[in-house]
Amino acid sequence: MKKLLLIATGGTIASKFTESGLAPQLNAEELLSYVPTAREFCTIDTIQPFSLDSTNVNAAHWIQLAGLIEKNYENYDGFVICHGTDTMAFTAAALSYLIQNNRRPVVITGAQKPIDLAITDARSNLLDSLRFASHDKAHGVTIVFGGKVICGTRAKKEFSKSYNAFSSINYPAIASIHDERIIFYIDDKNQCTAPLQFYHNMNERIFLLKLIPGINGKVLDALMDSHDGLMIESFGVGGLPNYGDDSFLKALDKWISSGKLVALATQVTHEGSDMSVYQVGKVIKDRFQVLESYDMTLEASVTKMMWVLGQSREPGKCREMFYKTVNHDLLFL
């Protein structure tokens, strides 16, 4: 049987009702007690590095989780992380960048309802995750949720209450799990031949700006001194507005000239960006060294910029790393 490490971090799956609302209360061993049949196909150790609502999870926790996996990598066949759903996609993407070329599975799961309720998705999600992490074909960072196995850089929470909360964006699901059976749609473990690599730094001085009609580019001036990277969530396939004052062009010139990293993503969930299509995007792309997210999810784009700037501030190196495909995050350039 495979030997797994269950890492509990809080989230709805571990929550109980309090006077102030749902809050994480259960520890890793208590979570495991709700899925006793898991021990029929794997052996499981547990650890609890922190217990948080995932709203409170940030880059320091991602680095902590990656470090915990690095420390225990040779001792286990796989890892399952119980996590809150609200920032799960960010955590899955971040761990994809912090732990690269891993031939052992790092599975992230959670639930929309606490595990101690009579009607909940928590027990099936946890059991599915342990089962998937025990499979010989499982590897890399994935999310297992609602019977789907989603690549860690391709997940997005699209429903706030439904059990099928997560979707795989611009990339197929890795596998599905039904009635204790795992059906693989993508089996690429043997293609992972590069050496395992752990990273230990991320730069949180990143700002995500969502464009709205009428926004003034001067807002970027106020952000520049306190941030090293800027991700602009633009309209459509990508571009910046010009309301006659060139405020965005002037602000971008300051950011780029100061050596800061700027990238454009899109507010549209599916099919990605292409700044070369319309004048509002092509002018920006031709004039400035602005990066583009293309088919990456917003969660992957943001955490990838944090990872890139955690390793280098040299513009050429940053560009090279941002456009390097990691865990299937980027297909179209």
Query: Catalytic site residues?
Result: 12
Written as six digits, the tokens of 275 are 């700044």
User: Cβ distance 292 to 264 under 8 Å?
Assistant: yes
Other beta carbons less than 10 A from residue 21's beta carbon? 8
Rounded Cα gap, residues 90 and 109, in angstroms: 13
Pairing of strands 181-184, 175-178: antiparallel
Give me the sign of the Cα torsion angle 229, 230, 231, 237: negative
DSSP-assigned states of every residue in 164-186: --EEE-SS--SEEEETTEEEES-
Q: Which residues of 271-297 are buried (b: 16+ CB within 10 A; e: fewer)?
A: ebbbbeeeebbeebbeebebbbbbbbb
The candidate with the shortest Cα–Cα distance to 180, out of 136, 132, 109, is 132
Distances (CA, A) of 167 to 3, 114, 293: 29, 21, 19
**Total count of residues recorded for the chain:** 333
Rounded Cα gap, residues 22 and 14, in angstroms: 10
